Amino acid sequence: MKLYFSPGACSLASHIVLAESGAEFSIERADIRAKTTESGADFAAISPRGAVPVLVLADGEVLTEGVAIMQYVADSVTPGRLPAPGTLARARLQEALNFISTEVHKTYSPFFRGLEGAARDAQMALLESRLALVEARLGDGRAFLLGEDFTPADAYLFTVTNWSKGIGHDLSAFPKLEALRARVAARPAVQAAMKAEGLI
């Protein structure tokens, strides 16, 4: 398998899940603005949407969308690691992944387009409200989003909340989230993925 990524982008979550799985895979950096890859390939030909992550499977099939990639990798490489399809536990994982995708990830995105003034203040308030929901979920003392076990949802949440620093957002109002982030950051697979992307 080969993962196309952009350093520190949402593709980091897929990179972490691949590293956690123990699968054999390679990575290649994609310049999503120039639409080229590190080796000079036309990234638009690999991913017509021009976005990361992109996972190219051994048979040449191309899979996009981080939520799909993370679940595919976990299910195909480490069967039984995730809750079984059709169970409430699996629905809870999908619930968490979708919440992060639509309510957290997409709330960070506008900051990268140069928000200023009242628009920035309103977007920051929206981000704070979304992170407050995560903080409340962690209020029962659970180690990770879904309980005591690390899942792709934790990789994804860790990845997008890394962006707080870049937008000048202080996470200290969310101590339980910060503690979860520290637990995720300490995992060897997370360290390996971040090092490979030049983030540490």
Matching residue, tokens 């890394």: 162
The pLDDT value recorded for residue 96 is 98
**Euclidean distance between CA atoms 124 and 87, whole angstroms:** 35
User: Cβ neighbours of residue 70 under 8 Å, at least 6 residues apart?
Assistant: 13, 14, 17, 97, 152, 155, 156
The pLDDT value recorded for residue 36 is 97
Q: Please tell me the pTM assigned to this model.
A: 0.97
The pLDDT value recorded for residue 121 is 97
Q: What percent of the chain has pLDDT over 90?
A: 99
State both tokens at 54. Answer: 């992109």
CATH 3.40.30.10, the chain: domain bounds: 2-80+189-196
Is CATH 1.20.1050.10 the right assignment for the domain spanning 88-187?
Answer: yes
State both tokens at 151. Answer: 């899942």
Residue 132 DSSP SS3: helix
Residue 183 belongs to what H/E stretch?
Answer: helix 175-185
Q: What is the pLDDT of residues 36-47, one digit of tens each?
A: 999 999 999 999
The pLDDT value recorded for residue 126 is 98
97 confidence band (pLDDT: 50, 70, 90):
very high
Angle at Cα 97 formed by Cα 125 and Cα 112, nearest 5°?
A: 45
Q: What is the pLDDT of residues 28-71, one digit of tens each?
A: 999 999 999 999 999 999 999 999 999 999 999 999 999 999 99
State both tokens at 15. Answer: 């990179």
Q: Over range 83-91, report the average pLDDT.
A: 96
Q: What is the pLDDT of residues 105-154, one digit of tens each?
A: 999 999 999 899 999 999 999 999 999 999 999 999 999 999 999 999 99
State both tokens at 68. Answer: 């799909």
Please spell the DSSP secondary structure of 67-107, one letter per residue. Answer: HHHHHHHHHHHSTTSSPPTTSHHHHHHHHHHHHIIIIIIHH
Q: Classify domain 2-80+189-196 by CATH number.
A: 3.40.30.10
The pLDDT value recorded for residue 113 is 92
CATH 1.20.1050.10, the chain: domain bounds: 88-187
5 confidence band (pLDDT: 50, 70, 90):
very high
State both tokens at 139. Answer: 């209020």
Of the candidates 50, 3, 40, the one whose C-alpha atom is nearest the C-alpha of residue 24 is 3
